[in-house]
Structure 1
Amino acid sequence: MYESQSYAVILRRMLDRIPDDVDKRQGSMIYDALAPAASELAQLYVELDMGLRSVFPQTAVEDHLDDLTEPFGLTRNQATYAVRKGVFAGAAGVLLDVPVGSRFSISGVTYAAVSKIAAGQFEMRCETLGVVGNQHYGTMLPIDYIAGLVSATLSDVLIPGAGRESDASYRARFFSEVREPTTSGNKANYKKWALEVDGVGGAQVIPLWDGPGTVKVIIIDTNKQPASPALVSNVQAYIDPGAGTGDGQAPIGAAVTVVAATSVEINITGTISLDGSRTLSQVQIDFESALTEYLADIAFSSDPSVKYARVGAMLLNVAGVADYSSLLLNGASGNASIDAEALGVLGTVTLSV
């Protein structure tokens, strides 16, 4: 709002108030007296602008945004721990149970066994907050000695770890809360309950999906992927563990079914012309990264269809691409439709020159 109030503008305005028959050149007594004051006033305008931005949720950031939303009963989501599946075996590949609490390391990240899933399979909780717990797969090394253990493998992400909620995400959630008030078990209520469970990154609610009193809640995880069975179970237990008994968040009589979103693979082919600055493989890597980000952005949005024109524009924006032709999404030169219970996931990307 006060961007125009720069040091130079303020100093010029101050000097203009001095009569022209007085020496106002740089280095003069008048100039040297006014310059420090102009500098301080310019800094004051900067701080005034920051203060003004901090009192509106549209522009407030960090603690200022937290302070604005707190009276509405909202708090920023903090970082969470990833929960993974660990598979353990002894001699000859025979599955082996490990003690609950035993710790393992992979690529400098430590996981602890927290509960048994099945013979030789355990839920492993990362000891480091955030997305780092989602990243590594493969052989783990035991930190504690375990008799008979031959192999320890870190596999599926059961509940993805997430970093501290960003200002943009928290602001969007705040506006959704105040513009779509939750009350008496309405659709917004069910969506809010789902998002309160760690690991949930989005939810859709379908009322009366299987007759009176039934509600379906479809969820995705914070990686914008279909939720794991463990995450689905956690959300089911939180919202309605007893099919309408009112033991969870849902009111008595509401039979809630929580399911993971189905995935629709988006396969892309096309022919491109390179400008000579980059190789085909470099272009493909960047294009796939842009596509993955785009699919995450539109997951569970009001219009989740993958837009043909948007994909073409992304391809043209990749460094090294001069032009493209014969672009196809799932074999067609048009939008790829995705229904309300699904989300698009990147399949194969085949680019040729």
Structure 2
Amino acid sequence: MAEIIDFEAPDFLKNQTENEIHTEMLADMAEQNPNRDMTEGSVFWDLTRPTAKEKARMVGFTLTEAIKNMFPMWSYGANLDWKATIRGMNRKAALFATGTVTVTGKAGTVIPSGFIFNTESTYGKSSVLFKTTETAVIPGTGTGQTVDIHIEAYSAGAIGNVAAGTITMLNTSLKGIASVINASKTKGGSDRESDDSLIQRILDFDQQQGISFVGSDADYKRWALEVTGVGGAEVIPATAGSETVTLVLTDSNGQPGSSDLCTQVYNHIMSPNDRSSRLAGTNDILSVIAAKSLTITINVTVITEDSRGINDIKNDLYTALLSYYKTAAAQNVARINEIGGILIDIKGVADYSGLTLNGSAANVTISTDEIPVTALTDITVVT
């Protein structure tokens, strides 16, 4: 994987602050005309100061940003998209989460396609909307009958991945419906690819130019990451007995890849319907599977320093772990000290003690085909 380094302005753009530029201008004039008044407030001082200010802005921002956008490593936004396009690459779009709701009500009630259900809004968090993707009719006779309906998040992105039992409301009333609930969590929603992720793919692509694609581990990983929704891919090489390369997938949210995502990756690499578009070698055998979830339970005692409640602290820890676990999976270990560092940085936490992972004050080893997961119910925080 290509290394990304921080941008450092070239020497010719350094020492170009407004004061430094203006001092140099005044010194040049003093050398040419020693008798001219150049004190602050003089005509010459007032006339040259705006020029120094504009030059400083041009050097410190405009030229600096122009140089950064010349190179993929420091480019961003639309300029980065263009750099991807000329390499035959595209920024991966956001995906819509999908799932199923169970609607209870009067037999014969029609729920039209596009009807909206939603989660309940809470303080500081808006409700998440979902629309039905098909027209459904509650079967049977009488009341209290149920029907399962496929739904899709109204807005693309990870925001559509909600927990089981949270879609409980109708966005608009519909006579005949008594209740609605999602028995399972919604899955598959992912945010639009970030600049950092696209930069990494571009740099890896550039470094591999001129290299023959022979189906190496790096090739398989790169091919998998080209599929929208894939966040990570680990390669288990073929053995003499199996002769099958196995790809272990996580989605862009760090969760096990869905069966649909595994199929998309397999089709992208193997192209079963058009062998001329096949990326893998002629005789390669490929298996694409979802990573296994490795549940990590967390118990800790905290000392709070403000009025923040335990639930707020738990929610912040849960959110931070989603990001950290991507790094932990890549390193094949979840380190208790690093989780402790995350905890102490949470607003409202003054100190903590008794931190354990899966009941032990030790690191947790993560296998290649595993990803660590921690649900809110797996976190116990007490004061």
Same fold (TM over 0.5): yes
Answer yes or no: is the 8 Å Cα contact 2:317–2:346 preserved in 1. yes
The answer for the alignment partner of 1:162 in structure 2 is 190
The verdict on how the C-alpha distance between 1:213 and 1:313 changes in structure 2, with shifts beyond 3 A counting, is same
Shift of residue 34, structure 1, vs aligned partner: 1.1
RMSD: 3.6
Q: Distance in 2 between matches of 1:86 and 1:322?
A: 42
1:3-18 correspondence to structure 2 within 5 Å: 4-18=15-29
The verdict on how the C-alpha distance between 1:154 and 1:217 changes in structure 2, with shifts beyond 3 A counting, is same
Please, which of 148, 151, 155 is the counterpart of residue 124 of structure 1? 151
The verdict on how the C-alpha distance between 1:343 and 1:7 changes in structure 2, with shifts beyond 3 A counting, is same
The answer for the alignment partner of 2:49 in structure 1 is 35
Aligned identity (percent) is: 29
Q: Which amino acid aligns with 1:60?
A: S
SS at match of 1:129: coil
Q: Can you list the C-alpha shifts for 1:190-243, whole angstroms capped at 9, x where unaligned?
A: 223323333222111112157353111111122211122333333334444769
The verdict on how the C-alpha distance between 1:151 and 1:238 changes in structure 2, with shifts beyond 3 A counting, is farther
Instruction: Report the TM-score when normalising by structure 2.
Output: 0.76
SS at match of 2:341: helix
The verdict on how the C-alpha distance between 1:289 and 1:277 changes in structure 2, with shifts beyond 3 A counting, is same
Please, which of 138, 141, 146 is the counterpart of residue 167 of structure 2? 138
The verdict on how the C-alpha distance between 1:156 and 1:188 changes in structure 2, with shifts beyond 3 A counting, is farther
Shift of residue 248, structure 1, vs aligned partner: 5.6
Q: Which has the higher strand share?
A: 1
Matched, 1:102 2:116: no
Shift of residue 160, structure 1, vs aligned partner: 1.7
Please, which of 73, 88, 91 is the counterpart of residue 58 of structure 1? 73
Using the TM superposition, name which of 272-281 and 198-207 deviates more: 272-281
Matched, 1:73 2:84: no
Q: Which amino acid aligns with 2:371?
A: L
The answer for the alignment partner of 2:64 in structure 1 is 49
Q: Can you list the C-alpha shifts for 1:268-303, whole angstroms capped at 9, x where unaligned?
A: 22333334564544433333332233124434x2x1
The answer for the alignment partner of 2:143 in structure 1 is none
Using the TM superposition, name which of 21-30 and 272-281 deviates more: 272-281
Q: Can you list the C-alpha shifts for 1:60-100, whole angstroms capped at 9, x where unaligned?
A: 111222233333322211223333334456657xxx9989x
- Unaligned segments of structure 1, at least 5 residues: none
The verdict on how the C-alpha distance between 1:293 and 1:37 changes in structure 2, with shifts beyond 3 A counting, is same
Q: Distance in 2 between matches of 1:18 and 1:262?
A: 72
The answer for the alignment partner of 2:4 in structure 1 is none
Shift of residue 261, structure 1, vs aligned partner: 0.4
- Unaligned segments of structure 2, at least 5 residues: 1-8, 119-127, 140-146
Instruction: Report the TM-score when normalising by structure 1.
Output: 0.81
1:127-276 correspondence to structure 2 within 5 Å: 127-135=154-162, 137-139=166-168, 141=170, 153-154=181-182, 156=184, 160-179=188-207, 183-209=213-239, 211-240=241-270, 249-275=279-305
Shift of residue 246, structure 1, vs aligned partner: 8.3
Q: Can you list the C-alpha shifts for 1:307-333, whole angstroms capped at 9, x where unaligned?
A: 122112222222333333322222222
Shift of residue 110, structure 1, vs aligned partner: 4.7
Answer yes or no: is the 8 Å Cα contact 2:254–2:322 preserved in 1. no
Q: Distance in 2 between matches of 1:294 and 1:254?
A: 34
SS at match of 1:201: strand
Answer yes or no: is the 8 Å Cα contact 1:24–1:30 preserved in 2. yes
The verdict on how the C-alpha distance between 1:269 and 1:129 changes in structure 2, with shifts beyond 3 A counting, is closer
The verdict on how the C-alpha distance between 1:305 and 1:279 changes in structure 2, with shifts beyond 3 A counting, is same
The answer for the alignment partner of 1:333 in structure 2 is 361
The answer for the alignment partner of 1:111 in structure 2 is 131
The verdict on how the C-alpha distance between 1:98 and 1:251 changes in structure 2, with shifts beyond 3 A counting, is farther
Please, which of 267, 283, 290 is the counterpart of residue 320 of structure 2? 290
The verdict on how the C-alpha distance between 1:216 and 1:329 changes in structure 2, with shifts beyond 3 A counting, is same
Matched, 1:342 2:370: yes
Q: Which amino acid aligns with 1:76?
A: R
Shift of residue 155, structure 1, vs aligned partner: 5.4
The verdict on how the C-alpha distance between 1:259 and 1:311 changes in structure 2, with shifts beyond 3 A counting, is same
